Amino acid sequence: MEAMMVLVFDTGNGTKQTKVFTEHPLGMRYAYKMPIVINKIRAGSQAERLHVQPGWVLHSVGDELLQGMNSSQVTKLLRASTATLRKCMVVHKAPLKAMSVAKLSARLEKIERAEVVPYLKGYGFVVQSSHSWRDCITQPVFRLLLDSHVKYKEKPQTWYVILGEITAADGSSTQQWHVERRLTHIRTLIHDPVKDELSGEYDLYFGSSRFARHGGPPGTSLRLAAWFAALSVAINVQAVSPARVASILSFLEAPSLEQTAGQTREESKPTALLQEQTVKHTFEESEPIGAAALNAIGIRQ
């Protein structure tokens, strides 16, 4: 029988909601203070699928009421309760020895043009060649989101936590993973090549979702979130070549279907976290993205 964890929430309107989790990470963010108030739900997580809402207060874990506990006791209880749950995501920690673009490029898998077709097949994509998609074929749905940004003691630069998601063409399975990259990595190894390839058509997909400015000024996270959403649309409508998609998957260290057969694994977790600031998944402060574009990648308005 699959391991599970029962959480009961106080919804704030006098009612309680019981949710049964079978996957870890749960997909909820909250401050480590009592009471435990959910402040963010990660897109694509089991918490989102179970319709857990920001603002709900955690009331109990299994048969354990949280009333009278302190935050350390609750954290210990949650860790013990989630230990047996199925791991549902590959997590790549920041490659702190690959700070520069050159060093990161050297550690990533190089996909030659002759290898593009079999490489993408490993993710469920069916393509004609490195530059041509197969006609009349339903392809997997790709989604890229900005989850948060972090800093480490060893290297004080900002690393952006990217959530990748690929849903099988028939909708039967979804694989997710986290990877951490610096802004200069994203700009040089994803943004610039995509812009060069699309050339005059770039503004058609990214005209209202401008890339982050140099130096990471305030608003960088919102710009990146909007740009990733637009990139997801461009990939899903096959505006980006198979070769470029293969390069992007390599940059993101996406786990193939073979790697995640049966269930995915949690590869590693950031252990030297110094600071983490969550990103609100809202575009109110950024330039607007069309409703059709948002719907195409499954972002609810």
Angstrom distance (rounded) from CA 262 to CA 98: 31
* Whether 279 contacts 146, CB under 8 Å: yes
Nearest of 229, 266, 220 to residue 93 by alpha carbon: 266
- Specify the pLDDT at position 152: 87
Angstrom distance (rounded) from CA 257 to CA 246: 14
* Residue 205, phi then psi, degrees to nearest 5: -105, -25
- Specify the pLDDT at position 84: 86
- Specify the pLDDT at position 259: 58
User: Can you tell me whether residue 135 is helix, strand or coil?
Assistant: coil
Q: Where are the alpha helices (DSSP H) in 133-290?
A: 183-186, 192-198, 202-206, 220-236, 242-251
Angstrom distance (rounded) from CA 253 to CA 251: 6
- Specify the pLDDT at position 172: 80
Residue found under tokens 């050159």: 102
- Specify the pLDDT at position 280: 32
Angstrom distance (rounded) from CA 146 to CA 130: 28
End-to-end Cα distance, the chain? 37
User: CB within 8 A of 66, min separation 6: which ones?
Assistant: 34, 35, 36, 58, 59, 60, 74
- Specify the pLDDT at position 265: 35
Task: Give the chain's residues under pLDDT 50.
Answer: 261-301
- Specify the pLDDT at position 85: 85
Strand duo 16-21 + 64-65: pairing: unpaired
Question: Does the CA dihedral 280-284-286-287 come out positive or negative?
Answer: positive
Strand duo 5-10 + 159-167: pairing: unpaired
pTM: 0.66
- Specify the pLDDT at position 153: 82
- Specify the pLDDT at position 260: 52
* Whether 27 contacts 45, CB under 8 Å: yes
* Residue 172, phi then psi, degrees to nearest 5: -75, -20
